Amino acid sequence: EIKDPLNARLRELGNVRIAGRMAVPPRVMGKAAFVHLSDGMSRLQIYCRKEDFAFLKNDSPDALDPLDSWTAFGLLDHGDFIGVEGYLFITNTGELSVHVEKLQFLAKAMLPMPDKMHGIADPEIRQRQRYADLIASSLQIEHEGMTTREVFETRAKIISSLRRYLEDHGYVEVETPMLTPKATGAAATPFETHHNALDITLYARIAPELYLKRLVVGGFEKVYELNRNFRNEGISYKHNPEFTMLEFYCAYMDVNGMMDFAEAMIRESVLKATGDLKVPYEGNEIDFSQFQRLAMRDAILRYKPDAEIDDASMIGLFDEFVEPNLIQPVFIVDYPKSISPLSKASPGNPEIAERFELFINGMEVANGFSELNDPKEQYDRFIDQMSERERGDDEAMVMDEDYIRSLSYGMPPAAGIGVGIDRLTMLLTNKHSIRDVILFPHMRPESRIGDKGKHADVE
């Protein structure tokens, strides 16, 4: 009683045209067939009847005759791309479908599609062949958690919301060099290359910090960059040598103002990306509605009351006894100045830096501080770092004379922060490994075609 009037109204809409991937093998029933087309996000059923649809030729506007059209339809496979034209109707089972009048072949799938029930079981194949992972995820009927596409759409929402928040607050986006003559801005081992035309050694940047602060010197009072950093270090579930970082600086702001701003910004991004401030992650519920603040020394004594703490032991004690317990968002403050060479010292204690790091679920997500803007003191800090390098610390910073020169022109009081986009995405998509939130993570090359990692292992 409902279906016929509704179908009549659908016919009044005229013909529709759609295109997509055949999400399932054609279901042929005598002289008719049903197929689902997918655009990677949703599906729509199409209905082909032998006597009233035409298979269009690819090299001319003409169509095959009905018999040849049906034969050609039988050559289509699961995964092929087709385009169809026809009218909408509701089937006897209540499913919206397209009654096909014209069909055109668009592209052939030469490899078999992953199993629609299980997708790709091997995580290495998912990460190495992200294209296959995206296909498998779109074809899979049941999912635990987000689909692969939803993970990366959430990542895109995080990035766009962070950009929008900064721009709404007057920040200007810039681009600074990815290849630099000095590996500065953070304590890390760089990737090294050679510039043939200039005959100089260059380094893939480990952080844009010193370039961004040069811009603060030049008058960009609110400036940010959202781009890649590179560190030639180990790979783990939370480390990838190439990663995405948001870094920004604000003149006339201190460490406390930056914590307030970062908390509000991240909270807004979480809400925009997930629709909620409480997010499930590995059996915990992360509550982004409020961030705690805790001094590093107090945090160590909370989890290791008998600890004997000095600057040399503080970071080791923190990493071992405190960091794994920091589940809810917390700013750890009052870092030793000795490990914070770019941070301003606390006026109340010259051995403490005005620095914080944001931890969530045992991971560092952000790092920020009041910026050291005294060129003489910054020069002395660089000298100390060079002494550390001479004692065998390969990650200690090198002297950057041009940065010292820029500070000598005068830099206003400022605060800055770096936010790890990959780790924030892990938290908001409930993914344990950073590789699952990077489209094409670093992996060892396949040794030869046909080895594990090729399509033979796609389930």
pLDDT per position as a tens digit, 338-373? 999 999 999 999 999 999 999 999 999 999 999 999
pLDDT of residue 156: 98
pLDDT band at residue 374 under the 50/70/90 scheme? very high
pLDDT of residue 118: 64
Number of other residues whose CB lies within 10 A of the CB of residue 161: 18
d(CA 327, CA 278) in angstroms, rounded, equals: 13
pLDDT per position as a tens digit, 14-44? 999 999 999 999 999 999 999 999 999 899 9
Tokens encoding 337: 């100045």
Residue 419 has pLDDT above 70, yes or no: yes
Q: Tell me the average pLDDT across 118-146.
A: 85
Specify whether the CB–CB gap between 94 and 48 falls below 8 A.
no
pLDDT band at residue 457 under the 50/70/90 scheme? very low
Domains of the chain: 3-107 (2.40.50.140), 148-429 (3.30.930.10)
Q: Does residue 119 or residue 206 have the better pLDDT?
A: 206
pLDDT of residue 456: 39
pLDDT per position as a tens digit, 278-329? 999 999 999 999 999 999 999 999 999 999 998 889 999 999 999 999 999 9
pLDDT of residue 459: 30
**What global pTM score does this model have?**
0.91
pLDDT per position as a tens digit, 102-115? 999 999 999 998 87
pLDDT of residue 138: 87
Nearest to 49 by CA among 73, 75, 25: 73
Specify whether the CB–CB gap between 15 and 85 falls below 8 A.
yes
Q: Tell me the average pLDDT across 130-134.
A: 93
Specify whether the CB–CB gap between 78 and 113 falls below 8 A.
yes
Percent of the chain's residues with pLDDT above 70? 94
Q: Is the dihedral of CA 436, 439, 445, 449 positive or negative?
A: positive
d(CA 270, CA 265) in angstroms, rounded, equals: 9
Residue 133 has pLDDT above 70, yes or no: yes
pLDDT of residue 174: 99
pLDDT per position as a tens digit, 142-186? 667 899 999 999 999 999 999 999 999 999 999 999 999 998 888
DSSP string across 159-225: HHHHHHHHHHTT-EE----SEESS--SSSSPPPEEEETTTTEEEEE-S--HHHHHHHHHTT-SEEEE
- Residue reference for tokens 């509550």: 287
pLDDT per position as a tens digit, 52-82? 889 987 777 777 776 788 999 999 999 999 9
Q: Tell me the average pLDDT across 105-134.
A: 87
Tokens encoding 365: 């997500």
pLDDT of residue 447: 72
pLDDT of residue 141: 67
Q: What's the chain's average pLDDT?
A: 92
